[in-house]
């Protein structure tokens, strides 16, 4: 009987990606992903560029934004190879919302593209050095999208007309993925939150912190680290497909925002990874939401 027992699954290495992890070129295989930031910069030069002491990310009004990309969640700074860089455009990890329009814009914005967070990891081999990783959240995967949407829906239904604070946290998923002895130095960077402040006369639950909620998002983390040129090309196509514009047959405003219909899931869950042709496929001109985006060109009322 002992011979029939299966051995425990080995943890993925942080230095290379096995062929078994990236079984196909379909984005539906990916819920969450982790790769070195330096590698992401090389594979996605149109989405991220280092210019002096700044990491340039296309803002919502720039032409590059219409080609897709990522929603970067940050406090405005990222450390790479010991140097500190300022982000040109990002979504603040914490925002305050005061009305339905702000909430609707925020909800649509965070779900419109894959999420990206920057973390620093200390390895077991050398705890004195930190390596910067990019953590990706595939918001088009039904499992991930469902957790975020249900978290927003449930808190609304439980605090009707009242203020509340909601946080989404990915620390546990990353912690369970990393090999023993590796540690995330800035774990707080693996979360984002918003606070809805209603105009309520008596907001007792909010005052005493009883309307604060945290959703721990769970999912399988895919290791996208590789030193193989062939696998790097596969990862590059994979990232391009994941971050390409979401082409919808109807806008979010045509559907009730708090309900995920089968049609909306079908539209966002695209399993094909053929390289996009700019001559064949239309591009989505996404609406800018300056109220929730940090950018040096756009003032933000949530600062």
Give the Cα-Cα-Cα angle 22, 26, 28 (nearest 5 degrees): 100
The residue among 98, 219, 242 whose CA lies nearest residue 168 is: 219
Phi then psi for residue 95, to 5 deg, are -135, 160
Q: What is the pLDDT of residues 223-261, one digit of tens each?
A: 998 888 888 998 998 898 888 876 554 443 333 333 333
Query: Is it the case that residue 268 has pLDDT exceeding 50?
Result: no
The whole-angstrom separation of Cα 20 and Cα 222 is 10
Which stretches of 3-156 are assigned E, i.e. beta strand?
32-36, 49-51, 54-56, 71-74, 77-80, 83-87, 89-92, 94-97, 115-122, 130-137
Q: Read out DSSP for 193-204?
A: EEEE----S--H
Mean pLDDT of 256-280: 33
Q: Read out DSSP for 232-248?
A: HHHHHHHHHHHHS----
The whole-angstrom separation of Cα 195 and Cα 178 is 31
Instruction: Give the pair of three-digit tokens for residue 179.
Output: 């090999």
The whole-angstrom separation of Cα 71 and Cα 136 is 10
Max intra-chain CA distance, the chain: 67
pLDDT bucket at 4, cuts 50 / 70 / 90: very low
Look at 60-64, 115-119, 176-180 and tell me which has the smallest mean pLDDT. 60-64
Provide the pairing of β-strand 130-137 with 54-56: unpaired
Mean pLDDT of 126-155: 92
The whole-angstrom separation of Cα 72 and Cα 59 is 10
- Residue 121 three-state SS: strand
Strand partners, 116: 72, 136
């Amino acid at each position: 009987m002992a011979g029939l027992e299966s051995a425990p699954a080995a943890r993925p290495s942080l230095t290379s990606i096995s062929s078994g992890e990236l079984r196909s070129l379909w984005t539906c295989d990916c819920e969450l992903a982790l790769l070195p930031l330096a590698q992401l910069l090389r594979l996605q030069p149109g989405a991220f560029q280092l210019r002096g002491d700044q990491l340039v990310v296309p803002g919502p009004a720039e032409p590059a934004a219409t080609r897709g990309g990522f929603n970067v969640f940050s406090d405005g700074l990222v450390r790479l190879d010991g140097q500190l860089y300022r982000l040109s455009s990002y979504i603040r990890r914490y925002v305050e919302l005061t009305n339905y329009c702000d909430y609707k814009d925020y909800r649509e914005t965070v779900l419109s593209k894959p999420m990206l967070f920057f973390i620093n990891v200390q390895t077991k081999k050398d705890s004195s050095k930190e390596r910067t990783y990019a953590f990706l959240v595939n918001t088009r995967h039904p499992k991930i999208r469902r957790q975020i949407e249900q978290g927003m829906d449930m808190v609304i239904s439980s605090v009707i007309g009242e203020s509340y604070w909601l946080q989404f946290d990915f620390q546990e998923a990353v912690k369970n993925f990393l090999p023993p002895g590796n540690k995330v130095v800035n774990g707080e960077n693996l979360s984002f939150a918003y606070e809805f402040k209603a105009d309520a006369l008596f907001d007792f639950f909010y005052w005493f912190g009883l309307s604060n909620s945290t959703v721990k998002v769970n999912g399988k983390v895919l290791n996208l680290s590789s030193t193989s040129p062939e696998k790097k090309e596969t990862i590059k196509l994979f990232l391009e497909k994941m971050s390409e514009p979401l082409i919808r047959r109807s806008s979010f405003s045509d559907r009730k925002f708090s309900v995920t219909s089968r049609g909306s899931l079908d539209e966002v869950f695209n399993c094909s990874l053929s390289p996009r042709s700019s001559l064949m496929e239309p591009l989505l001109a996404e609406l800018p939401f300056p109220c929730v985006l940090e950018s040096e060109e756009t003032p933000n009322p949530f600062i």
